[in-house]
Structure 1
Amino acid sequence: MQKYKQWSFKTFYGNYLIFWLVWLVAQEYLKNIQTQYVTGMINDLANVGIKTVVWLAFGFVWLHRTRGQLWLSKQQLYNRRFPFEFWLLFVILGGYLFLSMWFRHHGLYVTPHPFTKAGGNFLTVTLAAGLIEEFVFRGFFCNFLLTRLRPIKALVIQTLLFQAIHFPIYWAEGLSLMGWAANVSTVLPLGFVFGWLFYRSRNLWPGTILHCGWDTAVFLFI
């Protein structure tokens, strides 16, 4: 069996930087091809495909190379532990999203074009983001840091890394300064919450479900 060296923090952050740069290039590529199609479904599938290949490739390689150095092994990441905190957050976030929809649209609302270019990338936002991002950031980054740092420090660092990986997306979408600020004010606290939930539950499913639920509700109803 091939053995791998213990990862130092230098190796850890170096790999993150490579990942960040690859994702930046991928976003530039997606930005270019998205101008060539009329409907959003083709763009949606392209986004899902590229994100799946790039993120999961890095994630599986990292988990393999750091096996034995992680807080939880790859086999332990998904289980049936759903602590009380998950259900409490489910109710709080669900209530917040419902009220946000109600005040913004003065009643019940569903986006009329979820599968068109005007509506956005349905699969990318509602499923791919939560499933893939939780696997990589909580399943590897937070998982790795929890073996080397105090929990609060590990959670803060993985939150900052999670926020930073969204910057290439903001740049590719041409967001205004207000757009950047609005996204950071949402992604930053959610990144911490998802990391904390992983730490409390020792399970990726609670954070994944909340992540997918949040993104789906914002996309469809807000």
Structure 2
Amino acid sequence: MSRTISTRRFTLQLIIFWIIWLLVQLGINTPIEHHLTGWPEELALDATKLAVWVGGAILLLHRAPTEALAIDQRKQWRPNWHFAAGYAIWAGIVVYLLAEFWIVHHGLRVNPTFIPEYWGRYFLVVGVAEEFLFRGYFFNVLLKKFSLAKANTIQALAFACLHIPRYLTTVPVMSPMTWVGNLITVAALGALFGWLYAKSRSLWPGIAVHMTWDILVTLFA
């Protein structure tokens, strides 16, 4: 096996995963959402997300030579308790979102469509699964090949693109402006998660901020 991961191989991995996730959305997640409700639906969707994203991360990291990664795949799971910027950014995200919701809704109110099952998907599963695959593997490889700024820009744009399969299967169909707004937001968040990962050399700051963003947006939007 080559001791580095070529740009061609890396791009192919991204494209293949994008196609796999689109097929999963069409063939598994959409039928689950149509035929199940409540906790059975939630557990089935969570299991699918974990199997595809975490399974993909484990497979890709297992096949990647150590020299191809900027951050050791085992050490990236160690919490960096001394990373002060992580605490500051987490607090800033909380204040920003709560202030935005307060201004928009003239106070904090729980979204009437919010259900307890969302705590599993948007707080526990999505952040861990997406950070593990995207920052723990894809961005990790890019950091070895490019500068932080270039690697972070590439992975942030790719991260936004990986949300397109979900948007394509969202019912009702999203408007063009919603598409653009969502993709810009996801790309910006992807860049933030990438910066946290690169500077802390740990997955946990990004996971914490990612989970907090997702659950607050789901709870109060």
Query: TM-score, structure 2 length as denominator?
Result: 0.91
Aligned to 1:47: 45
Contact map agreement 1:44 1:122 (CA 8 A) in 2: no
Structural mapping, 1:81-96, within 5 Å? 81-82=80-81, 83-96=83-96
Q: Which moved more, 1:150-159 or 1:27-36?
A: 27-36
Q: Which moved more, 1:122-131 or 1:60-69?
A: 122-131
Residue 170 of structure 1 pairs with residue 167 of structure 2: yes
Once the two structures are aligned, what percentage of the paired residues are identical?
34
* Residues 17-74 of structure 1, C-alpha deviations (whole Å, 9 max, x = no match): 111100000011211332123x343222221111111112211111111131111121
Cα displacement (A) at 1:195: 0.1
Q: Which moved more, 1:4-13 or 1:203-212?
A: 4-13
Contact map agreement 1:142 1:195 (CA 8 A) in 2: yes
User: In 1, Cα distance between the equivalents of 2:216 and 2:121?
Assistant: 13
Cα displacement (A) at 1:121: 4.3
Helix, strand or coil for the counterpart of 1:147? Answer: helix
Equivalences, count: 215
Gaps of 5+ in 1: none
* Residues 188-211 of structure 1, C-alpha deviations (whole Å, 9 max, x = no match): 110000001111111110000000
Aligned to 2:9: 11
Query: Quick one: which amino acid aligns to residue 180 of structure 1?
Result: W
* Residues 93-143 of structure 1, C-alpha deviations (whole Å, 9 max, x = no match): 111111112112211212345337xxx844222221101000011100111
Aligned to 2:212: 213
Aligned to 2:55: 57
Gaps of 5+ in 2: none
Aligned to 1:192: 191
Q: Which moved more, 1:201-210 or 1:64-73?
A: 64-73
User: In 2, Cα distance between the equivalents of 1:81 and 1:36?
Assistant: 42
Structural mapping, 1:138-157, within 5 Å? 138-157=135-154
Q: Which moved more, 1:61-70 or 1:207-216?
A: 61-70
Query: Quick one: which amino acid aligns to residue 35 of structure 1?
Result: H
Contact map agreement 1:97 1:218 (CA 8 A) in 2: yes
Query: Quick one: which amino acid aligns to residue 135 of structure 2?
Result: R
User: In 2, Cα distance between the equivalents of 1:143 and 1:75?
Assistant: 12
User: In 2, Cα distance between the equivalents of 1:167 and 1:122?
Assistant: 23
Query: Quick one: which amino acid aligns to residue 122 of structure 2?
Result: V
Aligned to 2:102: 102
**Compared CA separation, residues 175 and 41, structure 1 to 2 (3 A):** farther
Aligned to 1:182: 181
Query: TM-score, structure 1 length as denominator?
Result: 0.91
Helix, strand or coil for the counterpart of 2:110? Answer: coil
Helix, strand or coil for the counterpart of 1:161? Answer: helix
* Residues 133-157 of structure 1, C-alpha deviations (whole Å, 9 max, x = no match): 0001110011111111111111111
**Compared CA separation, residues 41 and 115, structure 1 to 2 (3 A):** farther
Contact map agreement 1:41 1:121 (CA 8 A) in 2: no
CA RMSD between the two structures? 1.6
